Amino acid sequence: MNLSDKKLWIFDVDNTLIKDIEHPKPFKDALTLWKALSEKGYELAILTNVGRLSSRQVQKSLAKAGFEIPSDRVFTAGAAAAAYVHNRSPGARCFVISEGGAREDFVARGLDVTNNPPIDFVAVGADRGMTFDELNFATKMVKEGSPLICISGSRDYPGVYLGTDGIFIGERSIVAAIEDATGAQAVIVGKPLPEIVVETVKILNQQSSDTVLVGDNPNSDIAGGNAAGVTTVLVKRNPDDIVPYDSGDMDATPSVTVKSLDELISQI
């Protein structure tokens, strides 16, 4: 496939550009492609399902690994969730469970992040310091009618927290507890939700037909990209490092599959 007529390249982060956000070691093939795309003047952007860190924090981590990009071209699941709430209710009062990143993205969108009722929206991201009281309060607010938003949809994920390297329970699993206790169903804002891909393309003033989305995960990156009408590139990484997501009956077949991202250089 010839990709030279594309204008915008959107990249996933974890297991595509770097090992993961808390182990920001770059993949060499990704860095080579990134530099080639930059030199040729393609537009670059980031769309990550990480919700515990803000766009600014993700941008810093990427810069350290050699991927230079302005933070207004870095789209996180937290920023997407904030946009989702803002589009429905600007300035809404939100109870946000997350490690600070999503809170920062919510505040940046002009939403009122608060720990006291009344609560218009409950938004839950991965949070390894979450307390029982927070989970209980979120459950109570959802029971009383606040819509529940799951910031991205991973059941578990690898990372480092308080110096411990390991696998941690993800936001989808925390939200499952609230759903079970309330009977409510969360809206999952993160890949593979096609709207966030469409929205990212639109914010950058591009067309889906001119856009390539590159990722390691068929069920999040590829399914979401296909449904949004962009060209999808799957890079084959270590299968053990692919975070589990649910893509339902969406098509997770990539337009292009590569073992190494530098294989694409001859096509740009």
Site residues (vs Mg ion, CB under 5 A) = 12, 14-15, 216-217
Assign 124 to helix, strand or coil.
strand
Min separation Cβ 130 and Mg ion, Å: 23
Distances (CA, A) of 136 to 52, 83, 112: 20, 25, 20
DSSP 14: B
Give the residue with the Cβ less far from Mg ion, 139 or 200.
Answer: 200
Min separation Cβ 63 and Mg ion, Å: 19
Query: In this structure, what token pair is assigned to residue 216?
Result: 């390691």
Cα–Cα distance measured from residue 54 to residue 50, given in angstroms and rounded to the nearest whole number: 8
Give the residue with the Cβ less far from Mg ion, 6 or 237.
Answer: 237
Min separation Cβ 243 and Mg ion, Å: 6
Give the residue with the Cβ less far from Mg ion, 206 or 217.
Answer: 217
φ, ψ (nearest 5 deg) of residue 61? -65, -40
Q: What is the amino acid identity at position 195?
A: E
Min separation Cβ 217 and Mg ion, Å: 5
Cα–Cα distance measured from residue 247 to residue 225, given in angstroms and rounded to the nearest whole number: 11
Min separation Cβ 188 and Mg ion, Å: 16
Give the residue with the Cβ less far from Mg ion, 74 or 141.
Answer: 74
Give the residue with the Cβ less far from Mg ion, 12 or 199.
Answer: 12
Min separation Cβ 221 and Mg ion, Å: 6
Distances (CA, A) of 200 to 128, 211, 247: 28, 10, 19
Give the residue with the Cβ less far from Mg ion, 120 or 171.
Answer: 171
φ, ψ (nearest 5 deg) of residue 76? -105, 165
Q: For strand 164-169 and strand 156-161, is the pairing parallel, antiparallel, or unpaired?
A: antiparallel
Distances (CA, A) of 2 to 38, 61, 174, 264: 18, 31, 42, 9
